[in-house]
Amino acid sequence: MGLFERFLTLWILIAMGIGIDLGNRYPSIFIEAAQLEIAHINIPIAIFIWLMIFPMMLHIDFSALLDVGRSPKGLFLTLFVNWCIKPFSMAGIAWFFFFVVYDPIVPPEQAKGYIAGMILLGVAPCTAMVFVWSQLVKGNASYTLAQVSINDLIMVFAFAPISAYLLGMNNIEVPWETLLVAVTLYIIFPLIAGVLTRACLFHQSPRAFNAFCEHIKPFSSAGLLLTVILLFGFQAQTILNQSSIMFLIAIPLILQTLFIFALTYALAMFIKLPFTIAAPASFIGTSNFFELAVAVAISLFGLNSGAALATVVGVLVEVPLMLCLVSFAKHTKHWFKGANKMQLFS
């Protein structure tokens, strides 16, 4: 785990502070940046999101799916939780908190924005950071790669319809054209680019591919921090005037994270998965592809929207919480019988 990943929460907090300070001091700059749009897609944000997403897509290897047949239970567990449970539990928890618990203090229209952002987080299972979590618990790297690859493939087809359905269920108007453009721009194109680049570099040599990944990795980190700075610069006035809203958003996100991890971890024990597969499978569903959620929230609802703010709060909450769950998994490894004996195609 590199220096950036280890202190990711700190870097994000610093970026948030910079964004709020700049947005408060120089609001005109952020207003002009917000107007740089094509088809409701903000150009600066799109560039930074691509810097984040493309390096992650380089690690997707669909050939790894061939080996999953040796132990399909872990894959079935991941798919069940990610696509049959997580999006709907996130929508339910968001609805309950913002339309019931927070009803006296959060206006309905404002609540819809926060719910929308949480829904987009719930429909985007983790792509990149799960490799970090898997490495920390010494999970099966090959199986983790296979799980991430198939989830990304499903996300191409499932993200838009599930997002639209859940947003509609909460009376949130869905601009379908913008949603499909966002899915194409932030999932399909980066995935195709990553697969083609990986194939070309591997054709030269695995060493060339690894060297390229190392060179491009800092761009992903820079893209994340620059996106956070821009988002909080756009939201500076709202945050300064309503700082408590971030705390309100964080509570249901934390509960959702704990629920999904507990459910997946318990099911993994029930179906007797080895720890090296069970732990990464739990982390994939528990954490989110927040880069995608941020990009789509901005495209659908705007840079200054509650949806965009909710997705960024998701980034802030996720990292320290996932590190706690990694520690929990390491201390409960003995719960999985045969965890050290069963090493599948590692």
Tens digit of pLDDT for each residue in 235-250?
A: 777 777 767 888 899 9
Name the residue with higher pLDDT: 272 or 60.
272
**Side-chain-facing half-sphere of 56: CA atoms under 13 Å:** 27
Q: Is the pLDDT of residue 309 over 70?
A: yes
CATH topology (fold) of 39-210+244-333: Na+/H+ antiporter like fold (1.20.1530)
Could you give the CA distance from residue 265 to residue 287 in angstroms, rounded to a whole number?
13
Q: What are the angstrom distances between the C-alpha of 329 and each of 27, 139, 256, 336?
A: 44, 11, 18, 10
Burial class (CB in 10 A: 0-12, 13-18, 19+), 84: exposed
Q: Is the pLDDT of residue 212 over 70?
A: yes
Counting residues of the chain whose pLDDT is more than 90, the rounded percentage is 21
Q: Is the pLDDT of residue 346 over 70?
A: no
What is the rounded average pLDDT for all residues in the chain? 82
Query: What are 188-201's pLDDT values in tens digits?
Result: 888 788 888 888 88
Query: What are 126-155's pLDDT values in tens digits?
Result: 766 777 777 778 888 777 777 877 887 888
Tell me the residue length of the chain: 346
Least confident of 82-91, 200-209, 322-331: 200-209
- Sorted by where each begins, the domain ranges of the chain are 39-210+244-333
Name the residue with higher pLDDT: 174 or 309.
309
